[in-house]
Amino acid sequence: MAVDFRGHPLFPPGFNSPTRFDADVYDCEVWGQIPTDIRGTFYRMQCDFDYRPPKNEWMTGFNGDGHISRFRFHDGSVDFKGRFVRTARLMAERQERKRLFGVYRNPYTDDPSVAHINRSAANTHTYWHGGKLFVLKEDSLPYYVDPHTLETLGDWNFHGKYTAQTMSAHPKIDPMTGEMIAYGYEAKGILTKDIAVYTINHSGRVTKEVWLQSPYLGIIHDIAITQKHVIIPVIARTSSLERLKSGEPMWEWDGSLPTMVGILPRDGEAKDVRWFKGPSRNTLHFLNATDRGNTVTMELPTSSGERDASQIRRWTFDLNSKSDAFQEEVVSTTPGFLPRMDDRYLSLDYRYAYISSRVPAAAADPKAPPAQVVQRLDVKTGDIKQCAIDGKVALQESCFVPRANSKNEGDGYVMTIASNFDTMSSDMIITDAQHLEDGVIATVKLPFRLRSGTHTNWYPQSVLPPIKDELS
Amino acid sequence: MSAPTRRAFLGGVGMTVAAAVAMTLAPGAGSRPLPWTAPAVPAALAGMYPQGDWHVDDICGHLPRYAHPIPYMHDTSAPDLAALAAPVDRQFLS
């Protein structure tokens, strides 16, 4: 049966309709001047759909097929490449020319013929580490792809030393050591409460493995690290065997569950983890964490209930305290859904977050869409500098790009993909991170749309392999 | 530390709700223990579209949400095709 997306609740006509193609644009159209010291590659992921999912699919698109974008910068020019990740799952469905996998992270809804095929859709995040460009999805082990051609090269278990069944899409790279702190939850299989935390050295070898038990089955989408600790928040989005057997996607919000935050010493073992407890907080992504004496602070976007407004808050964990409570304060009321930072300062004392945010439109019309702004938030003072993006656009996750040969925090650029609803195509917006109020420096124009993305990362050419396919 | 059961957690939540205190969500208000009841959203933020309502698509920065149409993108006024078309193409306009 031919593919037909019409009538599916996940695909109203519009910007997020499936795109379903690989693409190459050599020497993209650029409005403005791209600084020549931007030399490297911006990667981003999006979820796309080759085949029509079940009607009760999770209404987020997070069960779509991974599609990776590569914007390669050189001497003021940009070459674009977009590729589906050739996962075992996608290839199996293409072979049969139909959807075989069921709803989000629910194998009970799969076609029996795919029971032994890796469920990973490889659709969430990319990281370059140990000589590999990983494409991650938290329910499986990573795939890796060629950083230039984006050819899918296979899945990876770190020379057999990563024994957990899952690896989250949000490992952390310690800028001081080059180590990757990776983890998996539901690490011994679906619905298990096992968490595995790995230290992987700069050359990609596992050097440490710690197994923990989560206090309850909740989503652990992201972690944070300091120089001494791994911070593991368990959020009140839960699941059950009954839910999966009823055919529903994995997660449901349960506001009666607490927020549990595990603080694991990086040089410690499972017995050393300390769990802090607070009321339910809705959050998935964490900005950064730092050690301050014997306390740990972490900044993050969060809301008090499932559907409350988002704010950037700070959680403080006093390791001297005998209480299991932690403290909370508001850093900024900007929505700040996906804050990023200068990753060279990850786990260290830092000051700035970069955020694609929304502010009320200047127009008097209350139904006017929100204005889209690229923001720099000073997490120490709450001060915000911002650049408004003109037109009917929505911004995807921002990414900080350090200026070449500069080591100062925040000296560089902010890159953001804008969904342009006027043209039904996508633009890459480039701004100067230290002078956002001066406006957009350059816009890379794509002649087609990129669906709403998940996450982005930047790697300078100096850390990537030499380019052999200059003209491809 | 042994892992508490979900039942124990829920019991703990119930005990602590009784002692909950309201928290003022103002930047710079200083840190304080998390209240067990969610603080009210400040009136100025309630229902404000730019804030979203923390749907999971908001958490991931998706606007519009995956399952939402784009109500504000289409210009419903009739376009002036003659003005848009290149001179050489105007002969094809009816």
Reduced 3-state DSSP string for chain A:
CCCCCCCCCCCCCCCCCCCCCCEEECCCEEEECCCCCCCEEEEEEEEECCCCCCCCCCCCCCCCEEEEEEEEEECCEEEEEEEECCCHHHHHHHHHCCCCCCCCCCHHHCCHHHCCCCCCCCCCEEEEECCEEEEECCCCCCEEECCCCCCEEEECCCCCCCCCCCCCCCCEECCCCCCEEEEEECCCCCCCCEEEEEEECCCCCEEEEEEEECCCCEECCCCEECCCEEEEEEEEEECCHHHHHCCCCCCEECCCCCEEEEEEECCCCHHHCEEEEECCCECCCCCEEEEECCEEEEEEEEECCCCCCCEEEEEEEECCCCCCCCEEEEEECCCCCCCECCHHHCCCCCCEEEEEEEECCCCCCCCCCCEEEEEEEECCCCCEEEEEECCCEEEEEEEEEECCCCCCCCCEEEEEEEEECCCCEEEEEEEECCCHHHCEEEEEECCCCCCCEEEEEEEEHHHCCCCCCCCC
Q: What is the pLDDT of residue A309?
A: 81
**Does the residue A225 lie in any domain?**
yes
Average pLDDT over residues A84-106: 97
Q: Residue A392 above 70 pLDDT?
A: yes
Cβ contacts below 8 Å, chain A against chain B, sum to 183
pLDDT at residue A239 in the model: 98
Tell me how many domains chain A contains. Answer: 1
pTM to 2 decimals? 0.90
Which of B16, B31, B58, B62 best probes binding to A when mutated, by most A CB atoms within 10 angstroms?
Answer: B62
- A12 is a domain residue: no
The rounded Cα A298 to chain-centroid distance in angstroms is 18
- The ipTM value here is 0.79
Of B30, B37, B39, the CB nearest to A329: B30
Lowest mean pLDDT among A43-47, A98-102, B67-71: B67-71
Closest CA to B34 of A323, A254, A338, A274: A323
Specify if A198 maps to a domain. Answer: yes
Q: Is the pLDDT of residue B19 over 80?
A: no
Mean pLDDT of A151-166: 98
Contact A61 B59 (CB under 8 A): no
Does any domain span residue A196? Answer: yes
Backbone angles phi, psi at B85, to 5 degrees: -80, 145
B81 shares contact with chain A (CB less than 8 Å):
no
Residues 6+ apart with CB under 8 A from A427: A393, A417, A418, A420, A443, A444, A445, A446
**Which DSSP symbol is given to B67?**
T
Q: What is the pLDDT of residues A8-37, one digit of tens each?
A: 989 888 888 999 999 999 999 999 999 999
Coil vs helix vs strand at B78 = coil
Quote the domain boundaries for residue A283. 166-292
pLDDT of residue B7: 42
B69:A60 CB<8 A: no
Does residue A344 belong to any structural domain of this protein?
Answer: no
- Give residue for tokens 């050690």: A291
Yes or no, beta carbons of A10 and B67 under 8 Å apart = yes
| A277 assigned to some structural domain | yes
Q: What is the pLDDT of residue B5?
A: 45
Judge: B70–A14 Cβ closer than 8 Å, yes or no: yes
> Chain B within 8 Å of A391 (Cβ-Cβ)?
no
Q: Kindly report the number of other CB atoms within 10 A of residue A49's CB atom.
A: 25
Go through chain A and tell me how many residues it has. 472
> B46 contacts in A (CB within 8 Å)?
309
Interface residue A241 vs chain B (CB under 8 A): no
Under an 8 A CB cutoff, do A309 and B27 touch? no
Domain-located, residue A221: yes
**Which amino acid, one-letter code, is at A352?**
Y
A330 and B27 within 8 Å at the Cβ level: the answer is yes
Residue B21 has pLDDT above 80, yes or no: no
Q: Which residue of B has its CA nearest to A323?
A: B33
Task: Answer yes or no: are the C-beta atoms of A78 and A28 closer than 8 Å.
Answer: yes
Report if residue A140 sits inside a domain.
no
What pLDDT shows up at residue A133? Answer: 98
- Judge if the upstream peptide bond of residue A366 is cis by omega within 30 degrees of 0: no
Contact in structure between A68 and A44 (CB atoms under 8 Å): yes
Q: What is the mean pLDDT of chain A?
A: 95
- Distances from the Cα of A403 to the Cαs of A163, A409, A460, in angstroms? 38, 10, 10
* SS3 call for B91: helix
Q: Do A310 and B58 touch (CB under 8 A)?
A: yes
What average pLDDT is seen over chain B? 61
